[in-house]
């Protein structure tokens, strides 16, 4: 009896529950239109700033899913330079970060271009510029020639979660996959993004980096579904938040006879959560734009502007004098003077707690 989905006669024909998947897809499509409309209402600078933040988040989280933590400042600087966005504090990025950014930007910025073997080879080479994955030398910029198992556990006690398509069949399988992906048909592109993600993972054509490339393919097709390279949500962030479910759902449907309803419903729910999170981000961006328009004549120092922007962009924890001093690299006395000035201007308000427990928040944004 076949063990994996690609071993059944109907492979690669997929089935799903039309009613359940259709309902979930309609919700996602509604939110896509709503959020794109909101973002188009922003000014150019606000849209560019939001796009930069989301792209950085998406790249960081896609790598974190694979257990790799990238340097935030390097990723942000690389994305900003490549998009031509002027931002303060740019730093140099290493080859690995540059390659990962190149992959993700090519997928989204060139979303209309066909996906080909050579383009995928380029993406893979960009992911592994040294020819190594960690301490291991891998085949780079080409499909694997060896067999592939997804395993966990210590040596001698490994658990095999998945055995990928045989190496000798990879090129043929990828020919079928790419022909389907690039073909214009009646299949909704959001649904196509979900199926493509699953299908690519099943083939597992590369020695390493298959997850990140699968997510890049999904992002490319989502950009096609919206007909824009402007990205205002991160599905990779949601996948990272629900990482165990992500892997479990993929594993469950990889054993099916062709019904991938569980995966499609999980992917659409994940995308829905990403869009709802983006709606919150959009509201903060609008509040931020409104604030600076209203207070354009205020004479604020660089430290005060920096902290106010951080409060709008998602400040972690409570704003206290000590935290202000640490972020701005000043004394507590200087931080307190900065804060008190903003309190007098009715931009910040103080919490009811006194002494060292005192914290501050923006007026009118809670």
Tell whether 333 is covered by a domain: yes
Tell whether 293 is covered by a domain: no
DSSP code at position 93: -
Judge contact between 168 and 9, C-beta under 8 A. Answer: no
Tell whether 292 is covered by a domain: no
Tell whether 291 is covered by a domain: no
Residue 256 CA, chain-centre distance (Å), reads: 28
Cα separation values, 313 from 22, 213, 280, 285, Å: 35, 29, 11, 8
In a shared domain, residues 27 and 136: yes
Tell whether 36 is covered by a domain: yes
In a shared domain, residues 172 and 150: yes
In a shared domain, residues 185 and 239: yes
pLDDT of residue 89: 64
In a shared domain, residues 282 and 342: no
pLDDT of residue 366: 54
Q: Which residue has the tokens 């923006």?
A: 362
In a shared domain, residues 96 and 9: yes
Pairing state of beta strands 159-163 and 348-350?
unpaired
Tell whether 122 is covered by a domain: yes
Report, in angstroms and rounded to the nearest whole number, the Rg of the chain calculated over CA atoms.
23
**Phi and psi of 360, rounded to 5°?**
-135, 150
In a shared domain, residues 257 and 348: no
Domain that holds residue 159: 5-286
The CATH number given to whatever domain includes residue 321 is 1.10.10.10
In a shared domain, residues 115 and 237: yes
Among 286, 320, 353, the domain-final residue is 286
Among 262, 286, 310, the domain-final residue is 286
Residue 168 CA, chain-centre distance (Å), reads: 32
In a shared domain, residues 115 and 147: yes
Ranges of the chain whose pLDDT falls below 70:
1, 88-89, 314, 353-356, 365-366
Cα separation values, 189 from 219, 222, 249, 271, 295, Å: 11, 7, 21, 13, 43
In a shared domain, residues 281 and 302: no
- Both tokens of 333, joined, read 């006395």
Tell whether 177 is covered by a domain: yes
- What's the total number of domains in the chain? 2
In a shared domain, residues 276 and 331: no
pLDDT in tens, 350-365: 987 666 678 999 887 6
In a shared domain, residues 326 and 280: no
Q: Residue 172's CB: how many other CB atoms inside 10 A?
A: 10
In a shared domain, residues 41 and 186: yes
Cα separation values, 335 from 292, 312, 343, Å: 21, 19, 12
Among 258, 286, 314, the domain-final residue is 286
The CATH number given to whatever domain includes residue 63 is 1.10.3290.10
Q: Return the SS3 of 11.
A: coil
Task: Report the sign of the C-alpha dihedral through residues 85, 88, 92, 95, in that order.
Answer: negative
pLDDT of residue 208: 95
The interaxial angle of helices 170-182 and 189-203, nearest 10 deg, is 170
Tell whether 238 is covered by a domain: yes
Cα gap 14→31, rounded to integer Å = 26
């Amino acid at each position: 009896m076949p063990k994996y989905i690609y071993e059944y006669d109907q492979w690669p024909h997929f089935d799903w529950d039309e009613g359940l998947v259709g309902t979930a897809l309609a919700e996602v499509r509604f939110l896509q239109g709503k959020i794109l409309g909101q973002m188009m209402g922003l000014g150019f600078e606000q849209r560019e700033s939001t796009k930069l933040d989301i792209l950085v988040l998406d790249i960081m989280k896609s790598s974190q899913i694979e257990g790799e933590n990238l340097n935030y400042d390097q990723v942000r600087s690389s994305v900003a330079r490549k998009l031509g966005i002027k931002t303060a504090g740019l730093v140099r990025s290493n080859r690995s970060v540059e390659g990962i950014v190149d992959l993700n930007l090519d997928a989204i910025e060139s979303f209309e271009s066909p996906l080909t073997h050579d383009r995928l080879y380029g993406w893979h080479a960009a992911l592994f510029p040294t020819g190594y994955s960690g301490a291991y030398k891998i085949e780079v910029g080409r499909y694997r020639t060896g067999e592939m198992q997804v395993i966990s556990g210590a040596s001698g006690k490994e658990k095999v979660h998945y055995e990928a398509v045989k190496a000798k069949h990879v090129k043929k399988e990828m020919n079928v996959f790419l022909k389907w992906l690039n073909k214009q048909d009646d299949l909704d592109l959001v649904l196509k993004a979900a199926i493509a993600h699953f299908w690519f993972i099943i083939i597992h054509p590369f020695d390493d980096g298959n997850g990140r490339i699968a997510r890049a393919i999904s992002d490319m097709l989502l950009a096609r579904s919206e007909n824009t390279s402007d990205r205002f949500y991160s599905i990779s962030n949601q996948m990272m938040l629900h990482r165990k479910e992500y892997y479990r759902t993929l594993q469950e449907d990889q054993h099916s006879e062709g019904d991938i309803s569980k995966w499609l419903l999980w992917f659409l729910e994940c995308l829905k959560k990403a869009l709802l999170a983006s709606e919150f981000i959009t509201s903060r961006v609008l509040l931020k734009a409104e604030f600076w328009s209203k207070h354009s004549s205020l004479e604020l120092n660089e430290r005060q502007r920096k902290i106010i922007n951080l409060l709008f962009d998602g400040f972690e924890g409570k704003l206290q004098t000590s935290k202000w001093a640490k972020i701005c690299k000043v004394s507590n006395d200087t931080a307190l003077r900065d804060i008190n000035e903003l309190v007098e201007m009715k931009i910040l308000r103080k919490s009811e707690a006194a002494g060292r427990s005192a914290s501050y928040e923006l007026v009118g944004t809670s």
